[in-house]
Structures are given as C-alpha cells and as structure tokens.
Copies of this chain bind each other. A is one copy, B any other.
Amino acid sequence: MSLAQFNLEITKIRDDRQHGASELARRCLAILAEAAKTVPAQDAVVLREQLKTLAWELAKTRPSMAPLQNLLHRWREELALDITLDLTAARVLAAQQAEALIVASRQAVAGCAAHAARFLGPGRTIMTHSLSSTVLQVCRLLRDQGLQVIATESRPLAEGQVLAEKLSNWGIPAVYITDAQMGLFAAHADAVLVGADSVQADGAVVNKVGTYPLALAAHDQGVPFYVCCESFKWRQTGEPLPELEEMAADELGAPERPGVTVRNVYFDITPARLISAWISESEVRQ
C-alpha cells in the first residue's frame, strides 16, 4: 500500500455516508492490516512508527465516531508493546492485532444486540431513528417474536428507507414516517431504541441528528429511551464532546439562494437525563 493509496482510503472513510461508526472502525482496522503487510519500511521500528502515524490519521477522519478513536488507539498501544526487530514478523503481528480487533468489535456488537433483544423481550413496538447496524441486529433477533418497528426517514439521505427495506425482507411490520412526525408517533411505541456514534463518560450520546428531539418526545410521553451500543463507543472521563461533523449542503436538495445558508450537521447530542438505559455487551446501565 503506497501513501497515495492510503490517502485515497482516508478520503473514502471521511466521505462515507453508508456505514455506521462500528463498521467504519473495522474498515479502518482492515486498511491498517493491509498497510501493516505492504507499506514500505526499512525495518520493524520504522514500520511501527509509520503505522502509528497512519492510525492517527485515520482516527481523526470522523471525530463524532468514538470506535474509530478507541479501536485505533487500542491498536497503537498494542503496536507499542511489540519489540520484535524482524520486519516480516512485525508486519504479521501488526496485521494480526488489527484483525483480532475487527473480530472483537464484531463480537461486541453481536453481544450488545443479543443483550438488547433479551432486555426488550417479545411483542414490542420499537421506534428507532436513522440506521444503526446494532439496532438492525436486534430487529433480526426479534423477528419471530412479534416485533413491530416505527422507523423515521432520517433526512437528508433517508437511511430509514434502507431500514424499512430490511424489515420488509424479514417480514417485520413497520411504520415509516417523516422525521417531523417523531413527536406524534413516539406515543405509539413501547420503547425507543437507537444506536450511537459515541457516548460521553457522563452518558450523553452523540448519534445521527434527530436523536435528541426523539429523546425529548419519548421523555415527554413517558416512553423509555434506550441506547444500545458496544463499549468501544464509550469515551473516557474528561474527553470533551466531539466536533459534530457537517456534510455537504447539497445533500438537502434545496436550491441555492442569496442570503440562505443551508446547514447539514449530521449529529446531535442527547443528554444523559433523557436516557432510560444504556445497553452494551456487558451490562444494562439504568
């Protein structure tokens, strides 16, 4: 992998609108595993320094997504423990460590979804916002247990349509609404279940924009609001709130007009006081 190829991968990660935080973190680890095997380096020490720099570059691409920072930081720490001087061995080990973290991420997400499915139980109407791969796994686990889903459109790119398609394929009855109807339909749900891009140490959740007003509506109507994400999404105590990424204005499809600024911030922050429980692979924190 040349530096030019790596920079192309960086751009793909930065511009990706199709995948969630966990999936993009795994994609970054896969890029680093490939880089570990093939990036030019004259010895093991230089290789590790090189890889740490690449990991750092990747971790910066999506500030709202904690798993990128957490998993790549973990990988960098593991790299730092390696003291082999053999270049080939160092390459193999670094790639293996990245691949092991990919497996750990997948297992954590699956564990988290299993946990959430057990916690919710059968016969529920769940409302969600945007498209979380973890929430998707929860739905699949509950597909034969009388699950019904209320799915928001999730503008600008309408990830809710992808969710509706999956639910339809799995035979799970769904109601599809505009984001503006979230206040009206929260009352029809037994619970709201969303994923997260990151969770602050105090429990505040960074997730697709629209999550915060949905949490307000659920809270106002006494509907429990659950966040379901693996522990790789939690930030450490003292870590500041991330920059909320803004994407291209033209995604909204509004004509350009003098004096009108189109804003397209992708994330918002839901304070902990609006959250009934955080479900991870290891616990339900209420």
Interface residues of A (CB under 8 A from B): 152-156, 158, 161, 164-165, 167-168, 171-185, 208-210, 212-214, 216-217, 220, 244, 252, 254-255, 257-265, 268
Give how many copies assemble into the complex: 2
The answer to whether residues A176 and B259 also contact, given A213-B216, A268-B181 and a CB cut-off of 8 A, is: no
Chain B contacts for A174, CB-based, 8 A = 259-261
Contact assessment for B209 and A172 in the assembled complex, using a CB-CB cutoff below 8 Å: no
The residue on B at minimum CB distance from A268 is: B184
Q: Chain B residues with Cβ under 8 A from A168's Cβ?
A: 257-260
- The smallest C-beta distance from A156 to any residue of chain B, in angstroms, reads 6
Check A180 against B154 for contact (C-beta < 8 Å). Answer: yes
Cα–Cα, bound, A179→B165 (Å): 23
Q: Is the CB of B155 within 8 A of A183?
A: no
Query: What is the CA–CA distance of A99 and B210 in the complex, to the nearest angstrom?
Result: 45
Contact A153 B254, CB 8 Å, known A181-B268, A217-B216: yes
By beta carbon, the residue of chain B nearest A270 is: B183
Interface centre among A179, A213, A217 (most CB of B within 10 A): A213
What are 10 A-B pairs with beta-carbon distances under 8 A?
A153-B155, A167-B259, A167-B260, A168-B257, A176-B254, A180-B208, A183-B212, A183-B213, A184-B244, A216-B220
CB-based contact A175/B263 at 8 Å: yes
In the complex with contacts A164-B254, A213-B216, A220-B216, A260-B184 CB distance below 8 A: no
Select from chain B the residue with minimum beta-carbon distance to A212: B183
CA distance A154 to B252 in the complex (A): 12
Q: A161-B255, A212-B217, A213-B213 are in contact. Are A155 and B172 (CB under 8 A)?
A: no
Residue numbers in B under 8 Å from A178 (CB-CB)? 155-156, 179, 209-210, 252, 264
Are A260 and B176 within 8 A (Cβ)?
yes
- Pair A184/B212 contact, Cβ less than 8 Å: yes
B167 contacts A181, C-beta separation under 8 Å: no
